[in-house]
Structure formats: structure tokens, C-alpha cells
Amino acid sequence: MISLFLILNILLIPKPVSFTPADGVCSIEKVVVRKDRRPFRKAVAELEPWQRQEAYRLTIQRDRVKIEALTEEGVFRARKSLEQMLALGEVPCGIVFDYPRLRHRGLMIDESRSFKGLAFLKKQVDALALLKMNVLHLHLDDSAGWRIESEACPELTAKTAWRIGRTYHEWEAGKYRFTTEDDPEGYGGCYSREELKELVEYAAERYVTVIPEIEMPGHSMEVGYACPEVLCQLPDGRRHTGAWDLCPGSETTFELLEAVLEEVMDIFPSPFIHIGGDEATMKTWSQCVNCQRRMEEEGYTEVKQLQGYLIRRIAAFVQNHGRRIIGWDEILETGVPKEAVVQSWRGISGGQKASAEGHEVIMSPNTHCYYNYYQDLIRKEPKAVGELVSLRFTYGYEPLSEGMDPTLLRGVQANLWTELIATPEHAEYMLYPRLFALAETAWTPASAKEYKGFRKRARALLDVFRNLEYNTFDMDTESDLARSGLQRFPPEGVPIPIDD
């Protein structure tokens, strides 16, 4: 029996722009596709060109479905709606008219802290496609290991893709020891060029762009371990072994980064290349002969200007290759070209500042979009990070904040950092159903969002994900606190568990 809720609120995530119900359910004997025909062109004439690209109309009758769209991508989005309805049990008659709110609808997965492999990534691409998301951002390197094979510098993976310590914290407790692939005690792995090309192709067939991130100049202990020439140098010639940051004074650093980026751009056709830029400590730069020389040459008075130097030089290199950079919001602090897209992670202020300065913005504030944070009570959940980012709380996130230019809001993204997430199963547990909320925030008009209805749809879709063998959080066990949507902060200085 089809429920009244379903008839009035078609069971789709993300919720479509409009659904006009008609009597009955459809047995889908026939699907006809009408591409780029006049009635639909007229229906989408007012939309932005990138919205028109993905727009579709589904006319669902008892025995047949008509798909209208301008492009194959629009047809694909329509087919994903049908696939979701079929998986949920019934396809109600009516007309769905739909197009995205935001252009970048992303998920970042950290492959450095825990390496999860190609099958896992393809499975998450399937989920993204089903949720009408279109970006998989891969964090491919960090201090805990470099995960992409490089011909220019094979030492990067040979020396840092395997470590002693199954989890990030075991590795940290064991004093950051790397090992080699042939060590039976070693944990880790890396992606070959062929595997990544396969992923890019797999994702492109599903209208998902894979954006690679090569982190710099901070979060780069492993690069210095593999290739000590990129480390800062003391006046007596010794290197700053174990440093967190690359040396922006040395030309070797740029030679390495540019060689790697060329390889990366060859694998990933994405118009955007993420270059990190977050949390550089800049500690070794004031003691380094090469950094000091660079400062003198450039007339700098503060070491942090070296971060701006590195980011601008790499941005120009990437732009000369016909791509644009994305960087974490720190890149705003030391000067960056207008074309750079800024990804706001330290709350929303980076996004607001970036928009005020004319940059396009991707919003992924840690407060709402970090899915490595707790999704329920500390005592009930596997160890996680930070505050409570419950399903309801993350659903409530509105990426366009006061004063922000809506035309510069490129999109919204969830980030999954994996210091505490050692396995693919755990990663999925943290993503679903919260990624359903992100998908709806990214696609559905803000005015059409409403939590109660979403929760019902999410509960139904969660069963579909379970049938597809995703390991999900159990919504039926959600605590009252998580259900309330409150985000608890401990009072100043007092670590209070979120478990009353």
C-alpha cells in the first residue's frame, strides 16, 4: 500500500524542486527519453547554464515514464531518481521537475591517515551518484603517508605509503615509523596511476568529478622523510628532520611539487586541483638559510609571507596548465589570486571573507560538515572528534550566510578525516545517513527543506543503503539529544561528555 506521505512527498533524497502528484503508481513498462526538445528547453530557460545541464523532468504515468532533459547528464540525474524510487518499493505517478541549487556537491575522503582502496572509493562514487552529488575530493597525502605513485619521486610511496601501526594513533604512539611494502608488520598502501585513472573514468561515467588534493606546505612530514632536500636547512647544513612544513625557500621544493602536480594533472582532468594550504606551523622557516634568502629577495618582513609566496607560485603553475586551485581558508591570509577557490573549514568566517574578496567559495565548516565528528552520544559511539554533528544538526546547515554573495557560493562539501577511522566499514558508518543531509542541502532549494519529512525519507533510504551493503549508523538507536539537533559545547576549559 502506498502511503499518503509518499504520495504527497515523493520519497527522494535530495528532495526535488517540485513534485506534482497524480493518481496511481507506475509499473514502468516503458521509459522514453526526450533530449533537448523545445518544451523542456522552455521550462528551463530561466535557469543558470550549469543548472540547465543537470535539470530534468520525469512524467510518471501508470505504465510509462517520460524523461526530459537537455543533456545526458540531465537524463542521468533523472534515472537516478527513478532508481531510488524503485529501490524504495514504488514509483508514484506524477511529475518531478528538478535541478540543482549548488554547483559543487562534494565529499572529501582522507586516504592518508587510513588507506581504503579502489573498491571502497568506487562504492562511495556510486553513493554520490545516487544522491546527485558530483565531486569526490581525495586527500591523497599527509604526514601519515603519501598515497599516489609518482614517477618523478618514487621515494614518496616507497618510503611513506606503509607504516608501523594499523591505526593512525598506533602509528603516532610508535613515534611515526614508516616501513616498506614487503614488511609483514606494515600497514598502508597507495594508488597506482592506472587505478586512479580507472577511478576517474568510473566517476566520470556517473557525472562525478574527482578532485585530487596535494597538500602543501604544512601536513607534509612524510615528504621530508622521503625527500630530505625539501626540508629547511640550518646554517651548518643540517636539515630540519621531522619538520611538518616544506621549505618554501628551496627551489627543490618547487621542482618536486611541480613535477608531482604535472603527474596529478595528467591523471585527473578536473578543472580544479586542491593544494591544501592549511595549518602550516612555519616553525622552521625563521631558522632556515634558504627561507631567509627568499625573504630577502622578496623583501618580506614576516615568515608567513613565505606561505603566500608558495601558494601564489603554485597557483600560477596550476593556472598555466589550464586549471584552478582550491585551497583551505588559510590561503586567504597571505594573498592569493582571485581565481583561487576558497574552501571554508574553520567555521564559516573563511567563506565570508573569501566572498567579500571576490573568491568563489566551497563551504565545509567543521561545525556542521565534518563527518569524523560525533553523530551521537560519546558513550554510544566509536571514538570520534569534536562536538556533536547529528543528522538533524547537519541537516540544518545553510551554506549561504549573511553578507555572502550567492553567485560566489560554488558549493558545499562534507569532509571525512580518518585519524580515528581505520576501516572502510567505519568510514561508511560515519557517512551514512549524514551524507543524505549534505546532498539535500547542496541540491534542494533552501525554502523546500524541512527536517521531519527528510528524516522519514532518510530512514527509508538507509534501508536501501543497507541492502546495497553499506555499513550505516542505526537511526533507530539515535539518542534524544542527537534527535533534538542541539550541538553541545563543553563550558570553557571543562571537558564534559555529551552523554546526559
Active centre residues (catalytic): 142, 219, 279
Given ligand ACM, Zn ion, none, residue 363, with its beta carbon under 5 to 8 Å by kind, binds none
- Kindly state the helix (H) or strand (E) to which residue 226 belongs, with its residue range: helix 221-226
Give the number of residues in contact with ligand ACM, rule: CB under 6 A. 4
Site pattern 95..114 for ligand ACM (x: CB under 6 A): --------------------
C-alpha 99/C-alpha 94 separation (Å) is: 17
Q: Please count the CA atoms within 13 angstroms of the CA of 156 that sit on its side-chain side.
A: 25
Closest approach, Cβ 359 to ligand ACM, in A, equals 16
Q: Where are the alpha helices (DSSP H) in 323-422?
A: 349-356, 366-369, 391-395
Work out what residue 278 binds among Zn ion, ligand ACM, none; the CB cut-off runs from 5 to 8 Å by kind.
Answer: ligand ACM
Give the nearer residue to ligand ACM in terms of CB position, either 42 or 383: 383
**Amino acid letter, 254:** F
Count of residues touching Zn ion (by CB under 5 A): 6
Q: Residue 275, SS3?
A: strand
Give which of Zn ion, ligand ACM, none residue 397 binds (C-beta under 5 to 8 Å, depending on kind).
Answer: none
How far apart CA 488 and CA 468 sit, in angstroms, is: 33
CA 497 – CA 485 distance, rounded (Å): 16
Which option in Zn ion, ligand ACM, none does residue 232 bind, with CB closer than 5 to 8 A by kind? Answer: Zn ion
Site for Zn ion in 410-469 (CB under 5 A): none
What lies within 8 Å, CB to CB, of 236 at 6+ separation is: none
* Contacts with 37 (C-beta within 8 Å, 6 or more apart), sequence order: 68
Q: How far is the CB of 448 from Zn ion (least distance, A)?
A: 52
Nearer to ligand ACM, 79 or 137 (CB): 137
Strand order in the sheet with 178-179: 178-179, 162-164, 186-188
**Which listed option, Zn ion, ligand ACM, none, makes contact with residue 145 (CB within 5 to 8 Å by class)?**
none
| Residue with Cβ nearer Zn ion (94 or 224) | 224
Among 221, 264, 282, 291, binds Zn ion (CB under 5 A): 291
For ligand ACM, give the closer residue by CB, 12 or 108: 108
Question: Is the Cβ of residue 206 or residue 304 nearer to ligand ACM in the bound state?
Answer: 304
Contact pick of 226, 288, 361, 475 for Zn ion (by CB under 5 A)? 288
Can residue 136 be called a binding residue for Zn ion (CB under 5 A)? no
Instruction: Name the grid cell of 49.
Output: 547554464
Verify binding: residue 328, ligand ACM, rule CB under 6 A: yes
178-179 and 162-164: which strand pairing?
A: antiparallel
Using CB under 6 A as the binding rule, the residues of this chain from 454 to 493 that contact ligand ACM are none
Q: Contact between 309 and ligand ACM (CB under 6 A)?
A: no
- Distance from CA of residue 247 to its chain's centroid? 27
Helix (H) or strand (E) holding 480: helix 480-484
Residue numbers 273-292 binding ligand ACM by CB under 6 A: 278-279
Contacted entry of ligand ACM, Zn ion, none for residue 291, CB cut-off 5 to 8 Å set by kind: Zn ion
Distance of closest approach, residue 345 Cβ to ligand ACM, in angstroms = 4
**Binders of Zn ion in range 234-253 (CB under 5 A):** 247, 249
CA gap 104, 125 in Å, rounded:
15
Does residue 232 bind Zn ion (CB under 5 A)? yes
Toward ligand ACM, which CB reaches closer, 278 or 499? 278
Number of H helices, E strands in the chain: 19, 20
3-state secondary structure of 239: strand
Question: Residue 424 touches which of ligand ACM, Zn ion, none (CB < 5 to 8 A by kind)?
Answer: none
- Using CB under 6 A as the binding rule, the residues of this chain from 369 to 408 that contact ligand ACM are none
345 binds, among ligand ACM, Zn ion, none (CB under 5 to 8 A by kind): ligand ACM
> Which span (100-108, 139-147, 285-293, 481-489) binds Zn ion, by CB under 5 A?
285-293
User: How many angstroms separate the CA atoms of 323 and 272, rounded?
Assistant: 6
Minimum gap (Å) between residue 418 Cβ and ligand ACM: 12
Shortest spacing between CB 235 and Zn ion, in angstroms = 12
Phi, psi of 324, rounded to the nearest 5 degrees: -120, 150
Please state whether the peptide bond connecting residue 217 to the residue before it is cis, i.e. omega within 30 degrees of 0: yes
CA distances (Å), origin 391, targets 148, 257, 302, 388, 480: 33, 39, 43, 9, 12
Phi, psi angle pair for 24, to nearest 5° = 95, 175
In angstroms, the CA 399 to CA 408 distance is 11
290 contributes a contact to Zn ion by CB under 5 A: yes
In the bound state with ligand ACM, the residue whose beta carbon lies nearer, of 258 and 279, is: 279
Separation between Cα atoms, residue 165 and residue 172, nearest integer Å: 8
Binding site for Zn ion (CB under 5 A): 232, 247, 249, 288, 290-291
Binding site for ligand ACM (CB under 6 A): 278-279, 328, 345
